Structure formats: C-alpha cells, structure tokens
Structure 1
C-alpha cells in the first residue's frame, strides 16, 4: 500500500460499493474519483473487484492507481485523489462478463460488496455507504431474491420501519431551501399488492421518517423552532374525489396525516398526486410522501433524474445511491452520466456529518 493520503479533518469515511460489474457502476465510480470535491468531502474506498475497477479506471483514461487491501483501516488511510483503495468482497471469477448481460456471477459480486459495506458501517469502521446500481435480475439469477438495495439493507441492519427517499439538492430546486425529498410508502411490489398493503401505520411511519431526514439535512429548522413541511400524496385520482374514485384517502391517508400532526410532524394532505410535486418544487413543501413507487419516481426524475440521490431512511447507518439503474445499453462504453454519483457522495457526507 501507498503512504497515507492527506485528508481534511472533516472528511467522512465512505465505502463505495462497485455495483453490478456488467453495468455502469464501476465506470461512474472511476469517473468521480478524479473530482477534488469528492476527496474534500470524504475519504472514499471501493468495495468490489480490483481488476474490474482497474478496467473502469482505464476506460475513463484516468491515471488513478487501484491498490488492493483487505484491511479497512489501511484502505481509508491510503486512499486519495490519485489512489483508489479497493477491498475485495468474496472470491469471484468475473472474467468474460459481457457488458449489460444478466449474470449470476455479477449478481453475487454486487451482493457481497453491499454486505461488506453494511457491516463496515454497522461496526463503525465506515461513516456511510454509497452504492452503485445493481441488477435485480442478476441478484435473482444468483439465488438472492431481494427486490433491491433498500430491502436488502433493511434486512442486514435488522430494521422493519424503513423507506426509500429520492432527494434533489437545493441547487436543483431553487425554491426549496434544503432541497426536496420524496419518501415512498410502498415500493418494489406490484401496484395491486401495494394498494392491498397500504395502511395507516405505514403512511404515518413514512411521515415521521421524512420529518427526521429533513431535520438532518438542515439543522436550521430546529434552530428557528419550526418543523419541516411534509406534503402527503393521495392514492387515487383527484384524491378520491370525495369517495367517488376510492375511499383510501378517507379511511387511511387522512387519518394518518392527523396522527402525524398530533405527533408533532407538520404533515398536510392528502393532495392529488398529479399536482403535489408542482407545489413542492414551488417551495411549499420540504418533502413529499408518495403512496406508490411511480407517484414519486416519475415526477422527481422528470425534474432532474441525473441529479437525484436515493437515500434509505430508517437504517442505523448512512446509505445513499445514484437514482439510476445499471444502464445496460451504455455499460462499458465510457459515456455514463456521473452527476448522480457526485450527488450521492455529497449527500452521504452531509448525512454522516449530521447524524444524530
């Protein structure tokens, strides 16, 4: 290993998981490694296959040296702008992987990196985990039947109350002083299953999680004695139109909002999903609670897909990710968009710094 790299005292130890090696994950990590900002905010290391990362560095035409170690403390000490410390995660034969292909080997390699990242953070050996995209199909091909990162990390951390939040930073939402988050009540499941499982308790918990993460993103609320403003979306068109288009708003969502308000959360709604995001981007809300995956994802990604960050709420660790997938059609062509990984590193460093 190389001599320790000089780092600012406030830099957070972030473990970046490689993601699926047939996708764009290794490339976007290699691309952002040359960013001064990344190394001012964090001491990053990579969890994954060193040879894959060397190929990704070469693809981007970077002079970064990939150094291998199995010791996390040694890795964090040696990493830096010109050196990428990489911790192998399991023994995998990744030779001959086809770009963009679904392969059980790549699914297992991605899984092992996630597991190691979570364990490092849980043990206090890392301040946060930033994950590159994985292929759900590859996970399943490897016999790992998880819907995605969120559910896998919740299991690893032993939590049952958790949520996915997509987050846009303030520079992408000028009217929103702390940025804008969208928290999802239901997530990786069919629409029919999501509707059947929607509950007052689920909506209430997501309101609480949204309130908590906004407070961490901006200590200013507590300073001025105000609360984050949470806009709660409806399930049905026109918020049910008084029961004409469904009664979930009356039976489940509105009572959950009242419970949240009684608990000190400034939640309001339910509001029609087709106009709620317009109001939020205009500065009316700091976070939105969406009932369905696509209610939140579609609207927010139309605003700024590549700048969005995926944040897992409810975990005892900090975890952020890019908001895009493995981009099979772009993988290993040297053209992958990198702004999402930049944003994910920034958000992880901020959340780790304000972890309460």
Structure 2
C-alpha cells in the first residue's frame, strides 16, 4: 500500500495578525502550483474567520496522513490542544501565546517524525510571546532548540531568498553599535560553510559562489575607514577558499547588488541585518522568503511580520507566503503534483 504523501505544515502564527487570513488565501489559490499543506491551528478559528470574510473555505480537522487526500476539497487543519477562538484581529493577546508555541512545536515534531515534509511558519510577534514568558530571542532560535540532538543545538542561519537575490546576514538582530564586537572570523566562516552546504544539498547548486560584503564603506578602503575588513572578513574569505568554497570579498556593499554584480554569486553574505535586508526588500519585497539554513529539516517563512494594523481586513497580500510554500516544497522534494 502506497504511503500517503507528506504535507507541508503551516503554523498558526499570531492569531491576531495576518497569518490566519493568509492561510485561507493560500488555500484559495491552491491551484497556482501549491503543494498540499495542512495548517497546524484551531479549525474553529479558521472557519469563523473565513465566514467573516465570506470566503468559501471548508475547514476540516485531519490527521497528517489525511491532509493530502482532502486538500483539493477542504483546508486540512491539524487541531491544537489550545484554542484561539477568542482571538481578535489587530489585538494581540499574550493569552494566545501558548497556542502559537504549541503550533510551532507540533509542526516541528511532525516533520522530524516523518509525518510532514517541511515547516512553513506564519509570522509571530515576539513581544507578545515575551509577555507570556517565552525565553528565546526569536523564531529561529526557538526552532534551533527544537532541533537539538544530544543536548547540542544546530547553528541556524537566516537566508532571505528570491529568484533574483539571496542574502544572509552574518549578525542578525543586534544593535548596529554591537556589530563590530560580535563579528568574528570564526562566525563568518561557520556561516559561510552552512550556506555553501545547504546551497549544494538543498538548492542543488553544485559549486556555490559566495560574495562577502565588507563591514565598512568601501570595504574599509585599505584601512582608511576601519580595519575590521582586513582583520576579520578577509581571513574568513581565505579560510572558505581553502575549504574549496568559491568565496570572494570583502567587497564594497554599495556595488554588490545591481544586476550585473548579482550574476557573479549565488548568495551574498552581509555583515549586519540591514546590509542584507535593504537590498532584497528593495528588489523582491513581495516575493522574498525567509529560509533557515543549518537545521535538520526544511523551514521557510514569509518575509514580513504580523501586520496587526491591517489584520482582519482581508487586504494582506499572500505573495510571500505562497513563495514560502513553493520553496518549502522544492527544498523538501514535495513539489505540487508530486
């Protein structure tokens, strides 16, 4: 007897944000090359929300093995123990935090147990979770803790990916003033190795090309604008090259992202958050996908937040979530129709 196809697992996100309505929109656009997915959520909440919008979205509570078979006729939902029926769009409530966390934990456990193909996460609001006692800096770090084996956590790497540009911030959610102290040759090398490995093994790029941005303007201008590039970044490039990775840099960041420059690399490693995110959000604002590299499972996410200000209006655009679902299917070998 053939094994049932494994669905992508889409988490709840903050129930007061746009995640639940994007989930409904994604199912309504399921014929646009979207592999079967199941929401890990409260089915009553999603059914009520669909009714509010007047959208014809039949919602069906299922086991993971049933999701693919019902996907064409109904939105499959793997029910949570925690309910969020009282969630109000645009009004985040720490009382819903337990459901948000349970959804992520359940999705990861099912994928690691072979019952799901990949994890796709809807946006969460960290400050809401913090009020409920959440102890992790963010989504990515929480996923890394769930992926721990033998007490050792993997080193997660955030990549923002689109068809036209892929970028990786080496340092992520820290103040700009803290970047020079946090940036080390070891961190750059570790990040570069993980990026190259996942580009080979998951993206199918036989010989990944990495371009490393300099930290300072003009990549330091031979020390005239700071010594971090020659002291920290350049040695990392040499180590990566010695590993057999095609790495270039440090390069002036202001000339790395035009079309001709992008054709020379598969991923750009930036030294801090905005150095990476400004170019990709300029070039591919609605299509960019957040991919976590270095985990033992595939995880993607739309590259936007909870958008509490427009939640409940049905006005959010699902483009980034659709792109996240498509990429998760591609990376997990679960393309639509397979």
Q: Same fold (TM over 0.5)?
A: yes
* Deviation (angstroms), 1:256: 0.6
Question: Which residue number corresponds to residue 237 of structure 1?
Answer: 217
Shift of 1:42: 2.1
Task: Note the 1:310-321 alignment, pairs <5 A.
Answer: 310-321=290-301
CA distance in 2, matches of 1:318, 1:214: 13
Secondary structure at 1:232's aligned position in 2?
strand
Query: Against the structure 1 CA distance between its residues 192 and 89, is the aligned structure 2 distance closer, same or farther, given a 3 Å change threshold?
Result: farther
Q: 2:172 aligns with which of 187, 208, 213?
A: 187
* Cα distance in 2 for residues equivalent to 1:181 and 1:79: 34
Pairs within 5 Å for 1:89-108: 89-95=80-86, 97-108=87-98
Q: TM-score, normalised by structure 2?
A: 0.90
Give the direction of change, closer, same or farther, for the CA distance of 1:281–1:242 in structure 2 (3 Å limit). Answer: closer
- The alignment's C-alpha RMSD in Å is 2.2
1:144 maps to which residue?
134
Partner residue in 1 for 2:304: 324
Matching residue of 2:235: 255
- Alignment coverage as a number of residue pairs: 329
2:306 partner SS: coil
Counterpart Cα distance in 2 of 1:323 and 1:281? 23
Structure 1's unaligned 5+ residue stretches are 1-8, 174-179
Return the match for 2:27 from 25, 33, 40.
33
Measure, in 2, the Cα distance between the counterparts of 1:267 and 1:181: 15
Unaligned runs of 5+ in 2: none
**Richer in helix (by share):** 1
Q: 2:7 is paired with a residue of what secondary structure?
A: strand
Deviations 1:97-146 (A, max 9, x none): 33222310233321111111111111111110111111111111111032
Question: Map of 1:1-356 to 2, 5 A cutoff?
Answer: 13-37=7-31, 41-69=34-62, 71-74=63-66, 76-95=67-86, 97-158=87-148, 159-169=153-163, 173=164, 180-216=165-201, 218-219=203-204, 221-222=205-206, 227-278=207-258, 282-353=262-333
Q: Which residue of 2 aligns with 1:177?
A: none
Is the CA contact 1:14–1:42 (under 8 Å) kept in the aligned structure 2?
yes
Within 2, Cα distance between the matches of 1:121 and 1:73? 12
Contact 1:27 1:60 in 2 (8 A): no
Q: 1:20 to 1:125 in 2, by over 3 A?
A: same
User: 158-167 or 338-347: which moved more?
Assistant: 158-167
- 1:298 CA displacement: 1.3
